[in-house]
Structure 1
Amino acid sequence: MLKNYFLVTKPWIVAANLVAAAGVFFLAAQGRFAPELFLCVMAGLCCVVASGCVLNNYIDRDIDRRMARTCGRVLATDSISLQGSLAYAAVLGLAGAALLLAGTNGLTLAVALCGFAVYVGAYSLYLKRNSVHSTVLGSLAGAAPPLAAYCAVRNSFDLGALIVLAMFSLWQVPHSYAITIFRRDDYAAAGLPVMSVRAGIAATKRHIVWHVAAFVVAAQMLTAFGYAGYAYLVAATGLGLCWLGMALSGFRARDDRRWARRLYRFSILTIFALSLMMSVDFARGPF
């Protein structure tokens, strides 16, 4: 039972969000590390993201049963009660909000709750089932944890916050589109209007290329405007161009699913590496 309550939070998604948030936290702190603030941010975001994931599992349980990738999820198999999952999500969400309110600032809490509302309310309840643009709009939720971490340190929504929002939102789209290509049959079986199902794989590849190219530019802006150093810039440019080259190679791919899976894996490597680099190679300029 404890394992099921752990799995229903999608721990891999929670962990990925915390890695990105930690990288941006250190970027924003510029070497002025506040351990109490860091712990409050990480614990609060962990609870809020986990709460959103539980509610997403609750909302998507009918869809999950129709997809090979997700049919074994906890709520799809009725491994825990629906009432128990809702109570669990409520406790996690309230605990996370309380931690962020008590240990950070109102802006951080507002950003986290906006991300929660987009993911649970807009994306899970409506967009995922009804709009081909669900991934693009839902990407704002994926950018919320690192943006909240930035706001926790700076207590303002400045140019750096805007770059973080753009960078992580733009990364989310090709990452997710790649999944919809190599899992296209699953999405079609569930009747979800994702880009690869509704518009076709060729159109999805074009959108992937545009978003990866925009991501490369956004990632470089952290150095261009004095937030990150040159080692970060080298990593962002190198990884970004490799990712873009891999995206462009999709137009020549003989096996779309194999290509999309490689693109998806490289996207994870890219964002983890850049989160690490921005945490250690921040610019020590006057902001």
Structure 2
Amino acid sequence: MDHASSASEHDDQLAAHPAVFRTLLSLTKPGIILGNLISVTGGFFLAAQATVSPVRFLATLLGVALVIASGCVFNNVIDRDIDARMRRTRDRALVQGLISVPMALVYATLLGTTGVLLLYLLANPLAAFFAILGIVVYVGLYTLWFKRHSVHGTLIGSLSGAMPPVIGYCAAADRFDLGAAILLVIFSLWQMPHSYAIAIFRLEDYKAASIPVLPVEKGIEAAKRAIVRYIVAFAAATVLLSLTGHAGHGYLVVAGGTSLYWLHLALSGYRRDDDEAWARRQFAFSIVMVMVLSLMMVVDFGLSFADDQLADASYRALALLRTSG
């Protein structure tokens, strides 16, 4: 082989590395990871009580990111037959044969194992437990069975979707208490209208793949009614965080106001003929909703920290005055 051929082959190999990296990255669904890390942050700071360990926080973010990535890769492997029938997903790497199934399974296992170990060693065993529970529910129950066979698959999937903020909370608090339980309820309820909205504007894809989501099985009107009911329940659950003393008044006002606006958008669906456009608005605002909730949990942390600092300064000042007197 001459030097020119060797150089050309070397260049081809170098060019292939970015393509492999992009393929591996696409399997993890980075957008889903980023969205979930926002809720992890909210849960962590909600439980932090004005005390944050930077190492534990970063380990929690990275650990959850790796576990979610693992679940997404497993999902790509299991759903490759479904993905091939859906317009939105037919270009995914496993459908196109850009990566082998054995390699994807090894990749998913490494991601998940590394993520759980990070949580176990640098956060706490409780956070690792909920990470394992989340991936078991998502891969073992939802993806392998309920998604394909039951209209209740969305509800089962919502439990795994609610795990990231719970993991964040448990990582900071080192316990599962009422606050963590309320977070689990809030984010499970949030998943339902969010997912039903996707199912409405992706209705033809779900029909083509024979996925028994509510709009396919019971119709769009039934899905609209369910969306309204779940948003009402979600709004009530968000209030509980403040009523039980886990969040402050600022969170209550903002979360309550945005929840009511989300309900207003849902009710407007009964007056619209364009169900797809309405569902896309529902979906878009559901993303805004979860970001607002998580942000207000962080803001509450900041206000709590400021209050603690002010109280500490006042105490020191009074002690100084007494000493001076």
TM-score range, shorter chain: over 0.9
Q: Select 1:48's aligned residue among 48, 67, 73.
A: 67
The residue type equivalent to 1:7 in the other structure is S
Alignment counterpart, residue 254 of structure 2, candidates 235, 240, 259: 235
Matched, 1:218 2:237: yes
Preserved contact between residue 265 and residue 282 of structure 2 (Cα < 8 Å): yes
Amino acid at match of 1:114: L
User: Partner residue of 2:177?
Assistant: 158
Deviations 1:44-85 (A, max 9, x none): 111111000000011001100100111111112111111111
Alignment of 1:272 onto 2:295? no
Q: What is the number of residues matched between the two proteins?
A: 286
Q: Which of 23, 34, 39 is matched with 2:53 structurally? A: 34
In structure 1, what is the equivalent of residue 136 of structure 2? 117
Is the CA contact 2:159–2:188 (under 8 Å) kept in the aligned structure 1?
yes
Larger Cα Rg: Structure 1 or Structure 2?
2
Give the deviation of 1:30 after TM superposition.
2.0
The residue aligned with 2:14 is none
After superposition, what is the alpha-carbon deviation per residue over 1:76-127, rounded to whole angstroms, capped at 9, x for unaligned? 2111111111111011011011101111222111111111001000000000
Superposition deviation, residue 204 in structure 1: 0.6
| Cα pair 2:52 2:172 within 8 Å, conserved | no
SS in 1 for 2:162: helix
Q: CA deviation at 1:246?
A: 0.6
Q: Helix, strand or coil for the counterpart of 2:51?
A: coil
Q: What pairs with 1:248-259 in structure 2 (closer than 5 Å)? A: 248-259=267-278
Aligned pairs (5 A) from 1:91-170? 91-170=110-189
CA RMSD of aligned residues (A): 1.3
Q: 2:201 aligns with which of 170, 182, 198?
A: 182
2:191 is aligned with what amino acid? Q
Residue pair 2:251, 2:300 contacting (<8 A) in 1 also: yes
What's the counterpart of residue 19 of structure 1? 38
- d(CA) in 2 for partners of 1:153, 1:2: 33
- For structure 2, the residue ranges without an aligned partner over 5 or more in a row are 1-19, 309-325
Decide which structure has greater helix share. 2
Question: C-alpha deviations, 1:218-276, integer Å up to 9, x for none?
Answer: 11111111111111111101110000011111111110001000000000011011111
Per-residue CA deviation, residues 133-165 of structure 1 (Å, 9 max, x unaligned), is 100111000011110111111121111011100
Shift of 1:33: 1.1
TM-score, scaled to structure 1: 0.97
Where structure 1 has 5 or more consecutive residues not aligned to the other structure, the ranges are none
Verify the 8 A CA contact 2:43 2:167 in the aligned structure 1.
no
**Which residue is equivalent to 1:70?**
89
Deviating more after overlay: 243-252 vs 119-128: 243-252
Match of 2:211 among 189, 192, 204: 192
Question: TM-score normalized by structure 2?
Answer: 0.86
Q: Are the equivalent residues in 1 in contact too, given 2:86–2:208 (CA < 8 A)?
A: yes
Number of the residue aligned with 1:202? 221
Question: In 1, distance between residues paired with 2:208 and 2:272?
Answer: 24
